[in-house]
Chains A and B, each alone.
Chain A
């Protein structure tokens, strides 16, 4: 894991090289954040209650979604967009010859430090406001449960969002699959209670997308027991194992680019 430290250090140095880019990344993510905040605007202007949760409570969900987005764009997004490139231009060849897990090298090599800043800041601010407004006690147990579910959501995010990138082992152009994945990602913006039951079931059990941003806030609001939190953890680990297998299978069929 010392290697990961060096990755981060390298990325930091490289990003400091171009201050202009750094600011631009900040700006881009802020604009995206602005688009997300439009939903907050709609929620408050219509005084939306979902499942008895008032607008302030919904902030917990939107905030959680924003934090998860921040983590996604910071740790994973750059890598996942690069994997198809590696395959196309054959850079994967060189990585294959390194005595380090290829999946680790290819999927966690780059860390973007500028992109997640606005998301994480604003996201946690929203969670803070929601937490306070909903009179949720700030106990160790609550915090621990929330952090646990946050970790679960990071693991699930990794597993789900890497799948489009993996498809590029078989298909040349997969940008539209990633596009779909990214637009489905935004379905998480709201509590899953707004969706009909069948969508909720698919989103929880088939493609555990809703786990990413729903379980944390639901736990805080007392809608989720420890049992489910534990199940979510187990589920995420299982999913990780499945993705690992898929990766292995994909690499096996890899035929490097000519030249």
Chain B
């Protein structure tokens, strides 16, 4: 099928892009480790100092596990295409795609997956190692159900994060200076998703409030599904909510882009 050939070509171009700079490639793996390490030391100091077994409802082991997993997951789902898209919009690169029989959305999605394919593989290996290590050290009670659900929610998280970022990109049609905006939103989303700290440090009410936003379903939720903090019932409920958010954002991204495109074509780029 023609379509499939096209997309596999786009995918492999993405993979190649990420391989082109070998030095960069190995270092970016290392780069993911540092913040996790720093947080590990901070939490170690915190728990040693307080003498309590659980802080913010996390035990020492759980919080370390959370930190590592959240760090990995947030690296995994991180999108880096905002600037490319904004560039396409600003400099007319989008026209290239408008005149070709390809949907820009699928092109971006596939090439994004391609660019991260290697990264995914390695992260998966790391995750497997960590999960094995944690369960061997009795930090994690390995349950097949949770593992499967984690794998599913992780894919959901990927897609959801892509969609959120894609929606935000539409703002490049309207805003003049966009790079700052992306910095702010990506950092804020990371914090609100629980990428830096477990959401509990903000207090009960904030956690409750955030449950009504899509953000926890990208990092906080998948990690807690795996670590066993989420109750069985809440797990399935959360999965459903995540699906709901994905559908909503799918629709939203179509909508925002359709509106924005209309304006774009009207001015002629």
Contacts and interface: CB of A to CB of B under 8 A. Distances in A.
A112 B44 CA distance: 37
A207 interface: no
B191 A180 contact: no
A176 interface: yes
Contact of B35 (A47, A172, A186): A186
Given A18-B177, A46-B50, A187-B34, A39 B42 contact: yes
Contact of A176 (B27, B38, B50): B27
Given A38-B201, A180-B34, A173 B177 contact: no
B223 to A, nearest CB: 17
Secondary structure of the B side of the interface?
helix
B196 A31 contact: no
A35 interface: yes
B23 A42 contact: no
A38 B27 contact: no
Contacts of B201: 38, 41-42, 45
Contact of A28 (B34, B42, B183): B183
For chain A, what secondary structure do more than half of its interface residues adopt (helix, strand, loop), or is it mixed? helix
Contacts of A49: 49
Interface in B200-239: 201-202
B106 interface: no
Contact of B34 (A47, A48, A184): A184
Query: Which of B38, B183, B188, B191 has the most A CB atoms < 10 Å from its CB?
Result: B38
Interface string A27-65: 110011011001101100111111000000000000000
Interface string A1-30: 000000000000000001011001101100
A182 B30 CA distance: 13
Given A21-B180, A176-B27, A38 B197 contact: yes
B184 A171 contact: no
Contacts of A199: 41
Contacts of B191: 34-35, 38
A45 B177 CA distance: 38
Contacts of A21: 177, 180
Interface in A155-199: 171-177, 179-180, 183-184, 186-187, 189-190, 193-196, 199
B130 interface: no
Contacts of A48: 45-46, 49-50
B196 A32 contact: no
Interface string B175-189: 011001101100110
Contact of A31 (B21, B34, B49, B187): B187
B45 A194 contact: yes
A68 to B, nearest CB: 16
B44 A173 contact: no
A140 B28 CA distance: 46
B45 to A, nearest CB: 4
Given A50-B49, A194-B44, A179 B196 contact: no
Interface in B30-65: 30-31, 34-35, 37-38, 41-42, 44-46, 49-50, 55-56
Interface of B: 21, 23-24, 27-28, 30-31, 34-35, 37-38, 41-42, 44-46, 49-50, 55-56, 176-177, 180-181, 183-184, 187-188, 191, 196-197, 201-202
Interface of A: 18, 20-21, 24-25, 27-28, 31-32, 34-35, 38-39, 41-42, 45-50, 171-177, 179-180, 183-184, 186-187, 189-190, 193-196, 199
8 contacts: A27-B184, A28-B184, A42-B201, A47-B50, A173-B24, A179-B28, A183-B31, A183-B35
Q: 8 nearest interchain CB pairs?
A: A194-B45, A24-B180, A176-B27, A176-B28, A183-B34, A173-B21, A180-B31, A173-B24
